[in-house]
Amino acid sequence: MYHDPQMVQRCTLLSIKTGGCPETCNYCSQSSSWSGKTGMKAEKLMDADEVFEAAKRAKAAGSTRFCMGAAWRSPSQVGQRQWSRVLEMVRRVRSLDLEVCTTLGMLTPQQAEELRQAGLTAYNHNLDTSPEYYPKVTSSRTYQDRLDTLKHVQDAGISVCAGGIIGLGEEEADRQGLLLQLASLPKHPESVPINRLVAVKGTPFESHQAPSGMDLVRCIATARILMPQTVVRLSAGRLELSRGDQALAFMAGANSIFDGDKLLTTPNNDRDDDTEMFQDLGLVSRPAMLPY
């Protein structure tokens, strides 16, 4: 056994730059392609001081990993001043003895190296689904683009966080294909977030039905079998799950959650409810910086 089954990491995810993304992910509220329907307005990159204060609050609330997401295609689309601000955010959050993760779109090898030097713990870059189904999810990038960024991240010595979303209209074979892709990387990802679609009004996937709790549990169990050392993260879509569904997810191998009232732009479980759930299920919080 590679993990203590009672130990579950609590993570916080903050959108440091919201809306105005040029990508065309059919599930995402932040794409500029349907901002007129979603009502999502593009916002400026947050100040480093704001992010630092948010990270301090997250740590005080029990989180041991702080994740930052920017609605970009890649850092290459923004100026050096904004990129330098992101690197400053990474350095300052890491100074709190928190694990630091970012999701900033596609990276060049140089950008990955700069993030490593700033102290980044992990980089999130989800594959979303199988290679076969991916063209139905977005038309603005290829599956190989995603794999290339994962390679740059691994080559830079940063831990890879890569997973997917179920409920995009895919078949069961596509879920299997996603997990096989992740398990076939040169090194298994340090963490694999399994997301349950949160359909957002105004996006092309607004009418998609979220998969059942058991569908999610099956994906988590399969990920755990295929990648036994990986941290499997019970991610978006948890708000509508019963406590029983979540308990099954932990029994199946999930050992991380995202807490706080929001995940980028969608609602999330209340921290107090999660604290009560941890007590009911006999779970303990995973400290930061444990070896993966």
Q: Catalytic site residues?
A: 21, 25, 28, 67, 101, 161, 233
Spatial distance between the Cα atoms of 24 and 14, rounded to a whole number of angstroms: 21
Beta bridge pairs of residue 254 = 232
Residue 48 per-residue DSSP state:
H
Q: Are 167 and 161 in contact (CB under 8 A)?
A: no
Give the CA distances from residue 20 to residues 17, 31, 48, 136, 150, in Å, rounded to whole numbers and listed in that order: 9, 6, 20, 21, 24
Q: What is the enclosing helix (H) or strand (E) of 103?
A: strand 99-103
Task: Tell me which residue has tokens 């879509």.
Answer: 237
Helix axes 109-118, 143-155, angle to 10 degrees: 40
DSSP symbols for 227-288: -TTSEEEE-TT-TTS-HHHHHHHHHHTEEEEE-SSEETTEE---HHHHHHHHHHHT-EEPPT
Amino acid at 168: L
Which residue, 153, 167, 150, 137, is CA-closest to 28? 137
